[in-house]
Amino acid sequence: MKVIVLGAGVVGVTAAWYLARAGHEVTVVDRQPAAALETSFANAGQISPGFSAPWAEPALPLKVLRWMASRHAPIVIRPRIDFAMMRWIEQLLANCNAHDYDINKSRMLRIAEYSRDCLDALRRDTGITYDDEQRGLIQLFRTQKQVDHAARDMSLLDQAGIAHEFLSPDEIAKHEPGLMENRHLFKGGLRLPGDESGDCHMFTRRLAQKAEEELGVTFHYETTIEALDASATDILGVRTSAGRMTADTYVVSMGSYSPLLLRPLGLHLPVYPTKGYSLTLPVTDAARAPVSTVNDATYKVSITRLGDRIRIGGTAELAGYNLRLRRDRRKLLELSFSELFGASGDLSQGAYWTGLRPSTPDGTPVIGPAGRFSNLWLNTGHGTLGWTMACGSGRVLADRMSGKRTEIPCLDLSLDRYTTV
């Protein structure tokens, strides 16, 4: 088939790679001058299948109420008249129960684990590098309550067959020597040895180049996607700033902007932007810097080593499509890093960035056909885990579009699980 992929972030580019490898003629369209210049540009840098969990947990409503009075709240809701946001929050709260949490986490673990395996195979096949490390992830718990809550997640990891271990503060410091001086700050940690890290932007740019040079994928950059032309049952073409483009099949991988493209067609995609922030700074003391990835469960901040840099990422803000860099969010990132890793990196040289994560109320991405349109497919809604789930999502999508049997169950990842179409 001739396929047009709309969006050149990590999710769109990996989908294009697997579709081209399956023998399709693939074109990718994006408004930016190169791949991975929006949400994929400076994310947290962690590939964390074992850390995959929905925000919609039973304790979330009470947590949010407490955070409203905190200067360092990991989740912030900016008051605004936004019916899409209110509907999304309503659906999120509907998932905040133990039954749905277990189902949603199991779905997320399935696609995330598969994606990590696909990435490993891709790395072996192509030799691609991206400041990558395969040294695991440690989630730090500062309170006994966090330790107790982790027991439920560990039982789900057991059921999914995912390797993990609970560590004492001294054991954590053996894996992350930079935490030795500050190990009194935490009660313990959950280590996920199968998790990885790497620069998503570097990976996506290099994979896009390989897709173009080795598989013949065509990239149209600096091309704004304006609208989809459709009949009652089919997509007829895509209108862009460079003119109308046509194909046999279309894939929407436009992240948080996917719902805006689909809404005129009567498709109500349950995706809303959750704004995240990051700081990237140079390493100044390698002995005290993180070795791999550390997640601070208290502030919901991740700290990742990327070669000679440190990436500090986190926080979630519901503020529509606003890309303003807020000073209070930077302070939260700096606070977590300073308490854990001190002066191992130069915060004054930190490059401050924000991006919009395309999030679903249940945390699970939307991968599959789009409602009544026979030639329209979706690959979006990965939230904070686009880098983690990208390769697996692309492979599942390519197999389904090619009429092949998928290697994991995936029907419950499609839009059909919602009743909004």
- Residue of 381, 397, 415 whose CA lies nearest to 39: 381
Asked if 360 contacts 259 with a C-beta cutoff of 8 angstroms, the reply is: no
Q: What is the pLDDT of residue 13?
A: 98
Q: What is the pLDDT of residue 150?
A: 86
Q: What is the pLDDT of residue 157?
A: 86
Going by DSSP bridges, is the β-strand pair 249-252/373-380 parallel, antiparallel, or unpaired? parallel
Q: Which residues contact 347 (CB under 8 A, 6 or more apart)?
A: 279, 281, 334, 337, 338
Asked if 384 contacts 52 with a C-beta cutoff of 8 angstroms, the reply is: no
Domain residue limits, the chain: 2-41+201-270+363-418, 49-81+132-197+272-359
Q: Specify the residue for token string 């100044």.
A: 284
**Which CATH number, 3.30.70.120, 3.40.50.300, 3.50.50.60, 3.90.1310.10, labels domain 2-41+201-270+363-418?**
3.50.50.60
pTM value is: 0.95
What fold is seen in the domain 49-81+132-197+272-359?
D-Amino Acid Oxidase; Chain A, domain 2 (3.30.9)
Q: Which residues contact 32 (CB under 8 A, 6 or more apart)?
A: 8, 38, 221, 222
How would you write the pLDDT of the chain (421 residues) with one tens digit per residue? 999 999 999 999 999 999 999 999 999 999 999 999 999 999 999 999 988 989 999 989 888 888 877 778 888 888 888 999 999 999 999 999 999 999 999 999 999 999 999 999 999 999 999 999 999 999 999 999 999 888 878 888 888 888 999 999 999 999 999 999 999 999 999 999 999 999 999 999 999 999 999 999 999 999 999 999 999 999 999 999 999 999 999 999 999 999 999 999 999 999 999 999 999 999 999 999 999 999 999 999 999 999 999 999 998 999 999 999 999 999 999 999 999 998 899 999 999 999 999 999 999 999 999 989 999 999 999 999 999 999 999 999 999 999 999 999 999 999 988 854 3
Q: What is the pLDDT of residue 371?
A: 83
Q: What is the pLDDT of residue 309?
A: 98
Q: What is the pLDDT of residue 65?
A: 83
Asked if 219 contacts 35 with a C-beta cutoff of 8 angstroms, the reply is: yes
